[in-house]
């Protein structure tokens, strides 16, 4: 099984190069202005020029209006949309692009019901429930993920070099996603942490 790796919240071209060189499968750009990792779509387009072919670009939104999403799609080479707020399936699918929907996991959230509400999603991204919607560096209780959840999953939330292997072994997600765990500061990736995280995730697949 080959677990895909997404590194999210990139803001610098040197970090884009480090992440691609480390072998990540996707990079995420945060189009949510309150985030310290926020970049404009025009900046994301500049950063994406540093990418080699076959590295996916994920555009992340939180409760954006449809025009904002459309303008981003027109301005940057976004391959996959990620909706991380309170969006519903109809809103997410209107752009005619593949999308992943984030669930902010906490006790009491019925993930089977949540998944059923997003039949159009290519995958569900399971993240911790944190202030500011995401990027919190917090791990949620992985035992809250029902074995019956038969959807393509991206595991996220507080992953780092020390727990990503266990995360993959326990939940066998299609992909893992990380931001804080590979940073020196919010939006500033640490090259050694990036490389160590990718190596730890890849080691499980061997
Ligand atoms: O990264 C952010 O700043 C952010 C802000 C608001 C909504 C979502 C955000 N990030 C979404 C991601 O996909 C993160 O990689 C995910 O939440 C995991 O973050 P972390 O726990 O810091 O690894």
> Which among 84, 106, 126 is the best mutation to test ligand 1's pocket, defined by most ligand atoms within 8 Å of the CB?
84
Whether 22 shows a pLDDT value over 90: the answer reads yes
**Residue nearest to ligand 1 atom 2, measured at CA:** 135
pTM of the predicted structure, to 2 decimals? 0.97
| Active-site residue (options: 15, 25, 92, 127) | 127
Give residues with Cβ within 8 angstroms of 143, minimum separation 6.
Answer: none
Per-residue model confidence as pLDDT tens digits over 174-186: 999 999 999 999 9
What spacing in Å lies between the alpha carbon of 176 and ligand 1's midpoint?
Answer: 12
Residue of 8, 15, 25, 177 marked catalytic: 8
Active site residue 8: yes
Q: What three-state secondary structure class fits 6? A: strand
| Residue appearing with tokens 């926020």 | 38
Distances (CA, A) of 187 to 17, 50, 134, 155: 14, 17, 13, 20
What is the C-alpha separation between 20 and 54, in angstroms, rounded? Answer: 10
According to DSSP, the residues that pair with 102 across neighbouring strands are 125
- For the chain, the domains span 4-205
**Dihedrals phi, psi of 153, to nearest 5 degrees:** -115, 140
- Please give the distance, rounded to the nearest whole angstrom, from the Cα atom of residue 149 to the centre of ligand 1: 22
Q: In the Cβ-directed half-sphere of 23, how many Cα atoms lie within 13 Å?
A: 12
Residues 81/100, Cβ–Cβ less than 8 Å = yes
**What rounded mean pLDDT belongs to the chain?**
97
Give CA–CA dist 45/39, Å, rounded.
10
Among the listed residues 47, 43, 12, 56, the one whose alpha carbon sits nearest the alpha carbon of residue 182? 12
How high is the ipTM of this complex? 0.99
127 is catalytic: yes
What DSSP designation does 188 have?
E
Q: Give the per-residue pLDDT at 206.
A: 67
| Topology adopted by domain 4-205 | TIM Barrel (3.20.20)
Q: Which residues line ligand 1 (CB under 6 A)?
A: 8-9, 28, 30, 32, 35, 37, 60, 62, 84, 127, 132-137, 156-159, 177-181
- Model confidence at 188, pLDDT cuts 50, 70, 90, reads very high
Task: Give the tens place of pLDDT for each residue, 75-119.
Answer: 999 999 999 999 999 999 999 999 999 999 999 999 999 999 999
């Amino acid at each position: 099984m080959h677990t895909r790796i997404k590194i999210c919240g990139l803001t610098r071209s040197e970090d884009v190069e480090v992440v691609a060189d480390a072998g990540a499968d996707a990079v995420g750009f945060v189009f949510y202005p309150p985030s310290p990792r926020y970049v404009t779509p025009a900046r994301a387009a500049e950063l994406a020029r540093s990418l080699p072919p076959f590295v996916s670009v994920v555009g992340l939104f939180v409760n954006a209006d449809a025009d904002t999403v459309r303008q981003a799609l027109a301005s940057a080479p976004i391959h996959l949309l990620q909706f991380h707020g309170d969006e519903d399936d109809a809103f997410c699918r209107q752009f005619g692009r593949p999308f992943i929907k984030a669930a902010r996991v906490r006790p009491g959230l019925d993930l089977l019901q949540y998944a059923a509400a997003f039949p159009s999603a290519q995958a569900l991204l399971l993240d911790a429930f944190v202030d500011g919607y995401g990027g919190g560096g917090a791990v949620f209780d992985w035992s809250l993920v029902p074995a019956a959840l038969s959807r393509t999953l991206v595991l996220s939330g507080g992953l780092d070099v020390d727990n990503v292997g266990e995360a993959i072994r326990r939940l066998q997600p299609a992909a893992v996603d990380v931001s804080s765990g590979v940073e020196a500061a919010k939006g500033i990736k640490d090259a050694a942490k990036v490389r160590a995280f990718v190596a730890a995730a890849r080691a499980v697949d061997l």
